[in-house]
Amino acid sequence: MSKLWGGRFTKQTNHLVEEYTASIGFDQALAEEDIQGSLAHVTMLGKCGIVPEEDAETIREGLKKVLAKIRSGEIVFSVSDEDIHMNIEKNLIDEIGPVGGKLHTGRSRNDQVATDMHLYLRKRVVALTAMLQEVQAALITQAKDNLDTIVPGYTHLQRAQPILFAHHLMAYVSMFGRDAERLMDSYKRINILPLGAGALAGTTFPIDRHFVAEQLGFDGVYENSLDAVSDRDFIVEFLANASLIMTHLSRLSEELVLWSSTEFGFVELDDAFCTGSSIMPQKKNPDVPELVRGKTGRVYGNLMGLLTVLKSLPLAYNKDMQEDKEGMFDTVATLEGALQLFAPMIATMKVNKGRMREAVNKDFSNATDIADFLVGKGLPFRQAHEVIGKTVLYCIQNNKYLLDLTLEEFQEFSALFDERIYDVLQPEAVVNARNVYGGTATVQVAAAIERSEVKLQSAKQWVEQHDEESQYK
């Protein structure tokens, strides 16, 4: 069959060129968005008298039939028709005859594909924000259940100071909160309509771009036609946001892998989120967090790939930009998969409070508080630091911990020590001494949980509002 654009050509396209340049293998994922945009476009063509209203209605009904066939799997997409736009148009013409050829009046595949991707990402950003909120909710629930659980806090993966396990979990709530905010903020740059820019310079037909924007629920239209067809900033921004989300998921994954090991034993992941070994029957492997950690690299790669594609492109559209989709689709699928698993995995995670307490009791993470105790007695911090360093060294050499020392042993290092040092060194006292906004004291963590729940509820309202706006009409 001849190409829809083949009038200028005297030869058939080489079949290897067809296979190499065709994008239907992946951009068929945009089928619903393509028809959604076409429905709004043809409605505008009829309203503006660019095509007869009768023809516009015929095309609308034809598009709906094509969409139904796509959803039922009746339509087999063809490489010879190159991309999703040409495949749909060819099927539309087969469905309603030559009048289907009027659909493309006043537009180009350049502004059409850009519109499809805006529609696609708009919906996915809302869905991903909701998934992030489910992960946050699971973390908050675990935090509320562990307001009395003390665990070693680490720097350099060395035990540093005791903290509430709830405080540790709430750090990830904050990270994912920023991730959600970035997605929500990006929505306003996604929700702009490029359609009507034509190939690059606009169109000679008296179209109404703002009417189309209203039909599709966009907040506005691109101001410049060159920018409209060549802009992929909104995809780069999404990939960058997704990369940060994966960074945070990967960091939490690393901790889940460590915490669930025999060496730590702090948590146990539910059997539903682990796998076994084909040879070692005792093994319970944390495959989900490991794979999320591994898949983070592919999301980074998708970001770098698109940045590299765009870095030297002159205005306006270039075929290179066909490379903008596969990475976007892959990132959406990777991120959706990770978030869908993480929420229930966190929710069903068992916390070994006893093992955490045992770890806190057998380290020197309360040493800073001894220094603070001496500072409160008037000793300069640097001198107090040296005293405690020597005290810890003594403990290590004598196989003791700080709470094992007698008062006489303490006083060998400083006469300022008195009986109150034993109260100061208790893990609960160490934790609750950090009673500052954002600190690990129980009262502060409880307040942080309350604030996070309020923020989460507000963010859920945003999702509900924009989920309705982004649905296919």
Q: Of these residues, 156, 278, 312, 458, which one is catalytic?
A: 156
Residue recorded with tokens 């068929």? 28
Phi–psi pair at 259, nearest 5 degrees: -60, -30
Contacts of 118 (CB under 8 A, 6+ apart): 190, 191, 192, 193, 194, 218, 234
Contacts 24+ apart (CB under 8 A), 62-71: 62/92, 62/95, 62/96, 62/100, 63/35, 63/38, 63/39, 63/88, 63/92, 63/103, 64/35, 64/39, 65/95, 66/35, 66/91, 66/92, 66/95, 67/31, 67/32, 67/35, 70/31, 70/32, 70/35
Coil vs helix vs strand at 150: strand
Phi–psi pair at 419, nearest 5 degrees: -60, -25
> Cα(first)–Cα(last) distance of the chain, in Å?
33
Whether omega before 343 lies within 30 degrees of 0, making that bond cis, reads no
Q: Of these residues, 80, 168, 260, 277, which one is catalytic?
A: 277
156 given a catalytic annotation: yes
Give the span between the Cα atoms of 113 and 348, in whole angstroms: 42
Single-letter amino acid code for the residue at 103: L
Give the span between the Cα atoms of 52 and 102, in whole angstroms: 10
277 given a catalytic annotation: yes
Q: Which tokens hold the place of 75? A: 């339509």
Single-letter amino acid code for the residue at 81: D
Coil vs helix vs strand at 398: coil
Q: Read off the DSSP letter of residue 285.
A: B
Closest CA to 323 of 221, 224, 236: 236
| Catalytic sites, residue numbers | 156, 277
